[in-house]
A and B are shown apart, each in its own frame.
Chain A
Amino acid sequence: MDKPPLTPIQAYRGLIAGYTEAIRSSDFKANIAFLFVAFMMGSVLWNYTSFPSYLPIQLVLLPFLVVYFSLFMVLIPRYPKRGAKTFIVARNLKPADFEYVAQTVDDVEQLKLTCAVLSDILWWKTQCIRVGFLVAIVCILLTMVLLLYAAFA
């Protein structure tokens, strides 16, 4: 059976669902990446005594700390002020505070604002997770080069 075309409200809701899914996926990746880097740091520090003299501890630890910082930036909870009217996070709320939310739930302007807020949040998360992943990838490549150098030099 043919589906009727999407209404604008459905289209905005679909986009919001897409943003929410991408944000959730980004957070999941960052959480697992945290564990990965933590395990790796243990292995690296355990064998630090076998490292060459030109690799001081500061240099070895720097990429780990940069990756941790980036991943914390991904996972930091964000509730921007401009979207706060429809997603209230506060202490001591009363049921009456949510009447406005129920009234504006299908307002196209409100949906556009939600899209803008989520796009902004996803932009920050994507940039930070990319920095973390790129640092990890570059460090793995450097480790390979150093291992080859140590083996054949």
Chain B
Amino acid sequence: MAQDKNAQLRNLIAGYRDSMMLSDIKALIAVLFVAIMMGTVLQYRPHYPWYLSPLVILAPFLIIYLSLLISVYPRFPHAGRQRFPIWRNAEPKDFDFVADTEAELEGLPALCAGLSRILWWKNITLLTANLLAIASLAASVILLFVSWL
């Protein structure tokens, strides 16, 4: 029964890691898309109406960059650090703990909690960036038609 629970926790950890990787890939592609878009948008700045000041044009881009960079910022959960040490000049004897599989099993729930917290932050920042991008696109469409009519 306990082994079954541990297997489920391991599956959950694999699920969190997969979701985090997917989230990172989405954020990295989005950051490229927005960087290319910003160049195109800035190129035509002299043709824009007076109320589209540099602040208004650039603010959504900068907020999106900030959200996406926070989303992909490298983080490792505190709970798992003892089992996944990232040390400078690590020695082979520092890894004796790996053979103690009982300690690993005890740390699984805490690791799940840590990964869940990281995924929450990644999700909320990615969501902010995506919603802002969608809102900006909608605003651009409206502005295009307002100036055309």
Specify which chain B residues have a CB less than 8 angstroms from the CB of A50 in the assembled complex: 54
Which one of B7, B62, B74, B87 contacts A144 once the chains associate, using CB atoms below 8 Å?
B62
Inter-chain CA distance A113–B39, complex, in Å, is: 47
Do B73 and A36 touch across chains, with their CB atoms under 8 A apart?
no
Contacts A43-B38, A43-B42 given; indicate if A25 touches B24 (C-beta within 8 A).
yes
Specify which chain A residues have a CB less than 8 angstroms from the CB of B93 in the assembled complex: 112
Specify which chain A residues have a CB less than 8 angstroms from the CB of B54 in the assembled complex: 50, 147, 150-151
Inter-chain CA distance A90–B30, complex, in Å, is: 39
Contacts A109-B92, A148-B55 given; indicate if A119 touches B86 (C-beta within 8 A).
yes
Q: Which B residue sits closest to A50, measured CB to CB?
A: B54
Do A29 and B98 touch across chains, with their CB atoms under 8 A apart?
no
Inter-chain CA distance A65–B74, complex, in Å, is: 21
Do A15 and B36 touch across chains, with their CB atoms under 8 A apart?
no
Which of A28, A32, A46, A150 has the largest number of chain B CB atoms within 10 A? A32
Do A32 and B32 touch across chains, with their CB atoms under 8 A apart?
yes
Do B28 and A32 touch across chains, with their CB atoms under 8 A apart?
yes
Do B42 and A144 touch across chains, with their CB atoms under 8 A apart?
no
Do B31 and A36 touch across chains, with their CB atoms under 8 A apart?
yes
- B89 → A minimal CB distance (Å): 6
Number of A interface residues, CB 8 Å?
A: 53
Do B66 and A40 touch across chains, with their CB atoms under 8 A apart?
no
B interface majority secondary structure? helix
Which one of A28, A108, A116 contacts B99 once the chains associate, using CB atoms below 8 Å?
A108
The answer, yes or no, to whether B147 is at the interface (CB within 8 Å) is no
- B10 → A minimal CB distance (Å): 9
Which A19-43 residues have C-beta < 8 A from chain B?
A: 19, 21-22, 25-26, 28-29, 32-33, 35-36, 39-40, 42-43
Do A123 and B87 touch across chains, with their CB atoms under 8 A apart?
yes
The answer, yes or no, to whether B59 is at the interface (CB within 8 Å) is yes
Which one of B7, B53, B95 contacts A116 once the chains associate, using CB atoms below 8 Å?
B95
Do B39 and A39 touch across chains, with their CB atoms under 8 A apart?
yes
Q: Which B residue sits closest to A134, measured CB to CB?
A: B73
Which one of B17, B36, B66, B95 contacts A112 once the chains associate, using CB atoms below 8 Å?
B95
Specify which chain B residues have a CB less than 8 angstroms from the CB of A112 in the assembled complex: 92-93, 95-96, 98
Q: Which residues does A use to contact B, with CB under 8 Å? A: 2-3, 5-6, 8, 11-12, 15, 18-19, 21-22, 25-26, 28-29, 32-33, 35-36, 39-40, 42-43, 46-47, 50, 108-109, 112-113, 115-117, 119-120, 122-124, 126, 129-130, 133, 136-137, 140-141, 143-144, 147-148, 150-151
Interchain Cβ contacts under 8 Å between A and B, 17 examples:
A2-B3, A12-B99, A15-B95, A32-B32, A35-B32, A36-B31, A46-B39, A47-B45, A112-B93, A112-B96, A116-B90, A119-B94, A126-B74, A126-B76, A136-B65, A143-B62, A151-B55
In order of increasing CB-CB distance, the 3 nearest A-B pairs are A112-B92, A39-B35, A8-B99
